[in-house]
Structure 1
Amino acid sequence: MGKQTLVLENIEKSFKDGDRINHIVKNLSFSVNKGEVVAVIGPSGSGKSTFLSIAGALLSPDKGKVIVNGENISSFSDVEKANIRLNHLGYIFQTSNLVPYLKVEEQLSLVLKMAGKWSKGEKLKIKELLKAVGMDHRAKYFPQQLSGGEKQRVAIARAFVNDPEVILADEPTASLDPNRSMAIIELISKIVKEQNKSAIIVTHDEQILPLCDRVFVMKDGKLIEQERNVKYEKVQ
């Protein structure tokens, strides 16, 4: 660990609701290092999803800087931000969001083709990545032939296939039972450590928190780091 892959500096974000302005994110600063898995917890409506959308270049802050791999992307155009998302960030969602008419291996090759990185040599990379998530024996299967846990494993492989610096996961275990939830987070952590990546996991699932290097609570528009020897605040 050491080098910061993602930095948010003094982020502000508000949304207008009629005549009322809701300040969702307030002077928020945050960073994540290489080789680190960070969890973000907090009650519904606390701003976790807004934070993750800003960190993932899906939403622009009103104020502040978003720095990805040393580059300030805050003033980038939509096209430039799309390029950052494609080449530097990987996403894992609550549902796997697999393309229903593509086989497992094709889910991964599609990302590489979109990034202009596809070549015959990439087939070996896809095979190795599917093996790493325990899905190489399902390479020719369609999503409807997979269990929920298997789909999420494919989604993890897809998130890593383009060699991103940062993985952003939004409730990745919400649809899984406790055993599969732990297995999924262990898998994300294993790949992050082996490949020296970073991961930010927004979650309500407190059982996975001991598997994370740091835990933050989203409260009053800010992220508050929790000490490891205290009980985590209950999230609703």
Structure 2
Amino acid sequence: MMMEPLILEQVEKSFKDGDKENHIVKNLSFRLKTGEVVAIIGPSGSGKSTFLSIAGALQSPDKGKVIVNGTDIATFSDIEKANIRLNHLGYIFQTSNLVPYLKVEEQLSLVLKMANQWTKESKRKINDMLVAVGMEQRSKFYPHQLSGGEKQRVAIARAFINDPEIILADEPTASLDSNRSMSIIELIAKIVKEQNKSAIIVTHDEQILPLCDRIYVMKDGQLMEKGNKSE
């Protein structure tokens, strides 16, 4: 039986706009299975990024449950949510968000140290991860010495280095050309399958959808399953 590292149950989120209350996420339920890559598509303003930030413990829902590895984190404090992010979640964003004054290998070691996961095996682990993303020859480079695609490969390595169960990617190919976009999603999917992780990718890039196991459309604050790559 496949495990479900992430479950959202009847989640709601709204924001005040003057006297008006905008309901961004409405009674949303979602289950993520181990080993799958899920794509979320939909128009701007439909609630995709809000959904991802709730799933990723960056903000709390107004109502509902957010269950990560069996624990409902919906009402966790900021410190508790930070611990969940460091130990169970990996993030990949539209831009790599690398620390400009850290070398490639240092980007990864910083995450391990912040998560209190640094051990005598960490240097080998970092090297293995850089090999997995094809960046071992750039381990001593700074971000300004890398291309856009290379920066995103480092961002992928950084997202996976703390051994999270769940990867959350928000428009990870938006700044790349079509060839690099496919290569980045192929890489994410490959590592997810090899390491038995799970991933949610919010995207406008429909060319990557055949690489995903399930596809959801976000509309009016709700998710509707569109299909999968076998359909």
TM-score (norm 1): 0.96
Q: How many residues align?
A: 231
User: What amino acid is the match of 1:42?
Assistant: G
Other-structure match for 1:30: 30
Deviation of the 1:120 alpha carbon: 2.9
Unaligned runs of 5+ residues in structure 2 are: none
| Aligned equivalents of 1:107, 1:92: Cα separation in 2 | 13
Instruction: Summarize the Cα distance change of 1:229–1:133 in structure 2 as closer, same or farther, 3 Å threshold.
Output: closer
Unaligned runs of 5+ residues in structure 1 are: 232-236
Other-structure match for 1:80: 80
Other-structure match for 1:134: 134
Other-structure match for 2:211: 211
Deviation of the 1:229 alpha carbon: 7.9
TM-score (norm 2): 0.98
| Aligned equivalents of 2:17, 2:122: Cα separation in 1 | 47
Other-structure match for 1:124: 124
Deviations 1:117-159 (A, max 9, x none): 1123100000000000000000000000000000000000000
User: What amino acid is the match of 1:203?
Assistant: T
Other-structure match for 1:195: 195
Instruction: Summarize the Cα distance change of 1:229–1:91 in structure 2 as closer, same or farther, 3 Å threshold.
Output: closer
Deviations 1:98-117 (A, max 9, x none): 00000000000000011111
Deviations 1:30-80 (A, max 9, x none): 011110000000000000000000000001100000000111111211100
| Aligned equivalents of 2:230, 2:73: Cα separation in 1 | 36
Deviations 1:193-230 (A, max 9, x none): 00000000000000000000000000111000012489
| Aligned equivalents of 1:168, 1:229: Cα separation in 2 | 20
User: What amino acid is the match of 2:35?
Assistant: G
Matches for 1:23-172 after TM superposition, within 5 Å: 23-172=23-172
| Aligned equivalents of 1:66, 1:56: Cα separation in 2 | 9
Deviations 1:160-212 (A, max 9, x none): 00000100000000000000000000000000000000000000000000000
Secondary structure at the aligned position of 1:226 is classed as strand
In percent, how many aligned pairs have the same letter?
78
| Aligned equivalents of 2:76, 2:228: Cα separation in 1 | 37
